[in-house]
Each structure stands twice: as C-alpha cells, then as structure tokens.
Structure 1
Amino acid sequence: MDYYDLIIVGAGPAGSTLAQSLQDSGKRILLIDKQDFPRDKTCAGWVTPAVMNTLKIDRDDYSHGRTLQPIRRFRIGMMGQAPVENDHGDVVSYGIRRCEFDTYLLDRVTAPKMLSTPVKSINREGGNWQVNGTWEAPLIIGAGGHFCPVARLLGEGPGSHETIVAAKEVEFEMTPEQAQICQARGDTPELWFCRDLKGYAWVFRKENYLNIGLGREDNHRLTEHLEAFVQDMKDTGRIPADLPGRFKGHAYLLYAHAERPLVDDGILLIGDSAGLAYTQSGEGIRPAIESALMAADVIRDAQDYSASSLQLYGDAIAERFGTRATELEQGWQVPDWIKTPLATTLMRSHWFTRKVVTEKWFLHQQVPPLEAAV
C-alpha cells in the first residue's frame, strides 16, 4: 500500500488547482483521474479575466498553440424573439477549449498522477482511506464532478431535493466552408433563454471552433428543446446546416439548491463534486478554482482532518458564495420575480441583458478575484 497525505480524485480544474496550490506544503499528494489527458470535456468553455488572474495564467504564453478567444460582446435573447447585442468595449471573458485548458493546468502539477485510472473502491481502514486497495491517505478529496465517487460517500444531503441540470452540447472545428457560412462571431457568444426560463442555449464560436449546446433542469424535455433550437439556428443561418457527430451530455448541481455535505471526517468536496456551479448561469469553472484555493488554505493549516477541522472550508464557501437556499426556495437560473410576463420585455432591454444577465449572472463582475476578497 502506497501512503500519501491526501488523495485527490479528479484532475480537472478543481483537482489540479488544489494539487498545485499544495505543491510547496511538504504534503505527499496523489492525483487520480479515470481519463487520460487531453480529454474531451462537455462545457461551453469560457473563463473570465478574474479566473485567469487568480490562476496566474500568462495570456501570451497560453495562447501559443491553444485557443484563447477574446470576448467583448454578448448576443442575448429569448427563443422566438429578436435578440439584443451589447458591446462591453473591453475584453470581459475568454473562450477556451476544455481539452486544452484542463491539460494546461494539469501540466503545472508536479505531484504524482495516476491517469486512465477509474476509482473502483474506496474503503475506510484505521482512520485512513484506501483507494483501489493500492493507495492510502488520511484525507480524500472529491474533485471528479457531479458523479464523483468520493461525493457518493457523503450522500446527497437531507431531503435530496436537489435541482440537477442536464446539458447537451457539441464542439467541433469548422471546415472553411462551414466557417464562411456561420454567422456566429468569435467575440460575441450568443445566449438564448427558453421561453419558460428553465434553461438556456448557446452558440459560441472560438476562433475556428464552434460550440453549440443547451442546458435545462428538466432532463426529459432536454432533447426536444435542443433539437428545436438547433433547427432554428440552422434556419436563420446562425450555424452551419451540417453539424458533425453527436451531442454529448453532462449534469451538475446549482449551488443554491445543492444539498451535498462539503466535509466529513477525512473527506472534502470541491468544484462540481460539491455542487458549486453558479445558480443563475450554471458556470462552474470559477467556483471550482476558488473552492480549490480555499480548500488548500484549510488543508495547509489543519491540525487534523476531522470534520470539525475541515468545517473551516465549509464556512469559507458559505462566506464566499452565500448560504444555500432552503427547500422552499425552488427554481433555476433566474429569480422568481423574473418568471413573469415581464420576462419577454426584460430580454429585449439592453440595460437588463447587459447589467443583470451578462455582467452579474454570467461574468460576476461585482465579485472581486479571490485574492482581493480574503
């Protein structure tokens, strides 16, 4: 049995950020992921300047051989009505490909990595966690997304009334003919809200790559909504008619309605494993990065890995992202006061779509980078 101080299950942005943050702590770290890297990851794929700054990513260095699409505008509308376009002037976000972004972060980690390694068993023995009967540590970190095996150890929390968002998308490199036909512009992602406001779709061009998808809280109607949206985008010439491949799916929890515990004795969840995606947008990269940094601070200074010691992480999450909603506070994406006949009018407003939808819900410009907040 190989012994470590902590084992991180999941090598995406949350897991790799945690591992890198603890590289100089003297702790022995093992990072495990069921897939090899680079790997496909279902995600629209954009990060704000706040994320780039928090991760200390040099934009010039990153852009060499990788996609880094500056975003200055957003085109936002409700399905069935004309959209509005807002110009933010400066770069407010960057389009990235997750296969490149995640690999870039993972390559910065010097700790041992076991890739292409599914977690088949996690057992508790003598106060330590044993993974696959091969590796042992007193602390195990769940960073493997919604279906993370570490998260299953903690259960779904009281009530289990969590709002699970399901999404499908496709990302592909366009041929010269497709690129010429496609009306979507690289610096202007398109967001299209469903009429019932239970989800939204997107068309996102990143240099020569095109990403199209839709996410909703009611999985049984997801394909129906997606097919209608894609056909409308084809009919109006926004996207090429000949899309390759199948749409891939994934699921995640929204922070305000997730009920998963974050810590227990010798166990801690970060990123989508903890259900930290922003409630209004479903965006999860920034919460994943910030949760990893907060976890690193607690782990570095913890006297032991008891639930009471690790609860400092839970307190930090609540302070940063707010307390989770109660069982009575249902709904997804937008507050209840938006879910009225007024919604069609608001989605035609340049002020509302810019100041509320884009800058507050999707870009979180009102929230300073983590370093400035602690």
Structure 2
Amino acid sequence: MEHYDVIIVGGGPAGSTLAWALRNNGKQVLLIDKADFPRDKTCAGWVTPAVIDSLGIDLEDYRQSRVLQPITEFRIGMMGQPPVDNDHGDEPVSYGIRRCEFDTYLLDRVTADKQMKTAVKSIVREEGNWIINDRWQAPLLVGAGGHFCPVARELGDGPGKHETVVAAKEVEFEMTPEQEKVCAARGEQPELWFCKDLKGYAWVFRKGNFLNIGLGREDNHKLTEHLEAFVNEMKAQGRIPSDLPSRFKGHAYLLYAHAERPLVDDGILLIGDAAGLAYTQSGEGIRPAIESALMAAETIRRAPDMSAQSLQRYGDAIADRFGRRAMPDNGGWQLPGWVKTSVASGLMRSHWFTRKVVTEKWFLHQDVPVFKAAV
C-alpha cells in the first residue's frame, strides 16, 4: 500500500491547481485521473485575466505553442432578434483557450505523483484513511472530478431534488481554409445568444482557425431541439460554415446557488465542478474551480488534522467568496424576477444592460477582486 498525505481525484483545472498550490508545503500528493492528457473537454473555452493572474501564467510563454485568443468585444442577443455589439476597449477582457491545451498546461506544472488513465474503482474508509483501488491511501481525499466525480458520491447519494443540473452540448474543430472564408464569426468577439425562455444560452466562439459552437440549458430534455434550431439559424445567417462536424459532445454541471452537495466531511472535501461551483448566472466554472482549489490548499496547509471541523474553514471560505447557497423559487440561472418578464427582449437590445450586466457582471465578474492564495 502506497501512502500519501493527499489524494486528488481529477486532473482538470481544479485538481491540477490544488496539486500545484501544495508543491512547496511538504505534502505527499497523488493526482489520479481516468483520462490521458491532452483530452477534450466540453467547454466554450475562455478565461478571464483574473484566472491568469491567480495562476501566475506567463501569457507570452503560454501563447508560444497554444491558442490564446484576446477578447475585446462581445455580441449579445436573444434568439430571434437582432444582437447588440459591445466594444470593451483595446485591452483584452478575456482570452479564448482550447481546453485540451489549457488543462494539459496546468497539469504539466504539477510535480506531484500522477496516475493518468486510471479509473477510481473503489473507495474505502479505514482507520482514518481513504483507500483507493486497494493500492493508495491518504488521510485526505479531494474530489475534483467534475459533476460525476466518484468522490462526490461519498458525501451523498447524488444530486438533490432541488439541484439544477445544466446540460450542455458543444463542438470544437479546426476549420478548413474554405470554412474559414465563409465563417463570419470573429475571434475577438464571442457571441452569446440567450434562449427566449432564459433557461439557457448558446454561443459561437472563434479562436484563430478553431471554432466552438454550443448550447447549455437547465432542462436537458429539450437540449438537442434547441441546439439544432440555433445551429440552423446561425448557418442561415452565414455566421458559421454549413458543413459542421456531426457529433456534438455533452457535459453536465451544477449551478452554485442550487447545488446541495456538502463540501467537506471527515478527511474529504470537494472542489470545482465536483462541488457544484459554476457561476449561477453564466454557468462558467473555470474561475470558481481555480479559486476553490487555492482556498482548499490554504485550508490543508493550516489544518491541524483532517477532521470535518478543521476542514470547515474551506467551506466557510467558499461561502464568503461566492455567497450562501439558496434555492430561489424561480430556479435556473438566478436571473432577477423583473428580467424574466416581457421586458427581457428589450433589455437584450440595450447596450448598457448587455455590457454592464450580462457581460461584465454575469460572465466576466469584473466587480470581483482577483483571488490569490497566501504563499
């Protein structure tokens, strides 16, 4: 049996950031993931300057061999009506990335032990340790494996009855020269198109010669229908090529305000999508994943033991950062009640509303200070 201080299940941004943040603290860390990296990940694929800052990423180094698309504009609209184009100035307000590259970059920075292409087949609690696959043990087990993380199941029986599970489908592909010529979408201007019922939104995002198209909704039984209608409309408008790949990949995640999963217990805690931390207004999960990992690292460094009481510092930090969870009656994307009325279509035609509220507040969270963990 191999012994570690911390076992992290999931090598995405949350798990790799936690392992990276613990690099100089004398902790023996093992990171496990069922996939082999690079791997595809369903995601529109952009990160804000706050994420870059929190992770200490050198942009010049990153862009040497990876896609890094500066974003200075947004096109916001409601399906079926003309969009609004907003220019945010010369400085990028976000950066387009390919998740297969970004996640691998973060994972490659990790110096801890890694076990890739390794599924978690068994989790056993024994004498204060967690035993994984009858091979590795540690007093602390961290779930960072997304919505279906096996560690999350140890803290409950699955999604609660009030949890809003958002389902999304997307495709990302490298365009041929012919497709590039007919694609009207511009890299510096991602497009966000809200469903008329405000239960989800679609996107068109060009990153160099790569194109990402997708749609996410809280009622997944209508997901394919809405996606097909959106794609057909974008094709008819000439925004995207007519010959797209036929297979869209799926993904599911929890919105923060509606997730019921506990975050900690004796010797166990959840970070990132495993904890259900995606922003309620936008569904964006990379920044919450990164910040939750940095908060978890601080807690682990300071904790006198791995009891639930000691680890509760992490739960308190999450609540302080993202607010107390609540399940509003209107559910879904937690849009204010006055938005979910006939005025919504008018608001989506407003430059002020689409820029100051939709983009800068809901999607970019520019009003939230950068989170940096103590060293």
TM-score by length of 1: 0.98
State how far apart, in whole Å, the 2-side matches of 1:107 and 1:279 are: 30
Give the equivalent residue in structure 2 for 1:231: 232
How do 1:154-173 residues align onto structure 2 when only pairs under 5 Å count?
Answer: 154-155=155-156, 160-173=161-174
State how far apart, in whole Å, the 1-side matches of 2:185 and 2:166 are: 26
Q: Post-superposition shift, 1:336?
A: 2.2
Q: Secondary structure at the match of 1:186?
A: coil
Give the equivalent residue in structure 2 for 1:21: 21
CA pair 333-181 structure 1, distance change in 2 beyond 3 A: farther
State how far apart, in whole Å, the 2-side matches of 1:195 and 1:256 are: 22
Q: Which amino acid aligns with 2:226?
A: H
Give the equivalent residue in structure 2 for 1:33: 33
CA pair 35-356 structure 1, distance change in 2 beyond 3 A: same
Could you tell me whether the CA contact under 8 Å between 2:79 and 2:193 is conserved in 1? yes
Q: Post-superposition shift, 1:373?
A: 11
Give the equivalent residue in structure 2 for 1:146: 147
Q: Post-superposition shift, 1:330?
A: 2.2
Q: Post-superposition shift, 1:313?
A: 0.2
Deviates more, 1:332-341 or 1:189-198: 332-341
State how far apart, in whole Å, the 1-side matches of 2:114 and 2:32 are: 6
Could you tell me whether the CA contact under 8 Å between 2:8 and 2:142 is conserved in 1? yes
Q: Which amino acid aligns with 1:82?
A: P
State how far apart, in whole Å, the 1-side matches of 2:308 and 2:252 are: 28
Q: Which amino acid aligns with 2:195?
A: C
State how far apart, in whole Å, the 2-side matches of 1:55 and 1:189 are: 23
State how far apart, in whole Å, the 1-side matches of 2:78 and 2:327 are: 29
Q: Deviations along 1:116-141, whole A, 9 cap, x unmatched?
A: 00101101111100001100001000
Q: Which amino acid aligns with 2:24?
A: D
| 2:134 is aligned with 1:133 | yes
State how far apart, in whole Å, the 1-side matches of 2:292 and 2:54 are: 12
Give the equivalent residue in structure 2 for 1:79: 79
| 2:243 is aligned with 1:242 | yes
Could you tell me whether the CA contact under 8 Å between 1:8 and 1:30 is conserved in 2? yes
Give the equivalent residue in structure 1 for 2:257: 256
State how far apart, in whole Å, the 2-side matches of 1:325 and 1:277 are: 14
Q: Secondary structure at the match of 2:372?
A: helix
Q: How many residues align structurally? A: 374
Q: Which amino acid aligns with 1:155?
A: G
Could you tell me whether the CA contact under 8 Å between 2:294 and 2:372 is conserved in 1? no
Identical-pair percentage: 76
Could you tell me whether the CA contact under 8 Å between 2:35 and 2:116 is conserved in 1? yes
Give the equivalent residue in structure 2 for 1:334: 335
Give the equivalent residue in structure 2 for 1:211: 212
State how far apart, in whole Å, the 2-side matches of 1:263 and 1:318 are: 13
CA pair 16-158 structure 1, distance change in 2 beyond 3 A: closer
Q: Deviations along 1:16-67, whole A, 9 cap, x unmatched?
A: 0000000111010000000000000000000000100110000000001100
Q: Secondary structure at the match of 1:80?
A: coil
Give the equivalent residue in structure 2 for 1:88: 88
Could you tell me whether the CA contact under 8 Å between 2:14 and 2:289 is conserved in 1? yes
| 2:203 is aligned with 1:202 | yes
State how far apart, in whole Å, the 1-side matches of 2:253 and 2:82 are: 30
Give the equivalent residue in structure 1 for 2:361: 360
State how far apart, in whole Å, the 1-side matches of 2:354 and 2:374 are: 27
Could you tell me whether the CA contact under 8 Å between 2:70 and 2:188 is conserved in 1? yes
Q: Which amino acid aligns with 2:143?
A: G
CA pair 158-96 structure 1, distance change in 2 beyond 3 A: closer
Give the equivalent residue in structure 2 for 1:178: 179
CA pair 348-158 structure 1, distance change in 2 beyond 3 A: closer
Could you tell me whether the CA contact under 8 Å between 2:298 and 2:374 is conserved in 1? no
CA pair 63-152 structure 1, distance change in 2 beyond 3 A: same
Could you tell me whether the CA contact under 8 Å between 2:160 and 2:261 is conserved in 1? no
Give the equivalent residue in structure 2 for 1:42: 42
Q: Which amino acid aligns with 1:62?
A: Y
CA pair 197-327 structure 1, distance change in 2 beyond 3 A: closer
Q: Deviations along 1:316-348, whole A, 9 cap, x unmatched?
A: 000000000136462325222210000000000
Q: Which amino acid aligns with 1:111?
A: A
Q: Which amino acid aligns with 1:70?
A: P
Q: Which amino acid aligns with 1:10?
A: G
CA pair 328-344 structure 1, distance change in 2 beyond 3 A: closer
Give the equivalent residue in structure 2 for 1:11: 11
Q: Post-superposition shift, 1:5?
A: 0.4
Give the equivalent residue in structure 2 for 1:67: 67
Q: Which amino acid aligns with 2:368?
A: V
CA pair 317-367 structure 1, distance change in 2 beyond 3 A: same
Q: Deviations along 1:158-202, whole A, 9 cap, x unmatched?
A: 953100000000000000000010000000000000000000000
Q: Deviations along 1:142-172, whole A, 9 cap, x unmatched?
A: 0000000000111158953100000000000
Q: Which amino acid aligns with 1:276?
A: L
CA pair 321-225 structure 1, distance change in 2 beyond 3 A: same
State how far apart, in whole Å, the 1-side matches of 2:240 and 2:261 are: 38
Q: Which amino acid aligns with 1:112?
A: D
Specify every segment of 5 or more residues in structure 1 that has no aligned partner in the other structure, as ranges. none
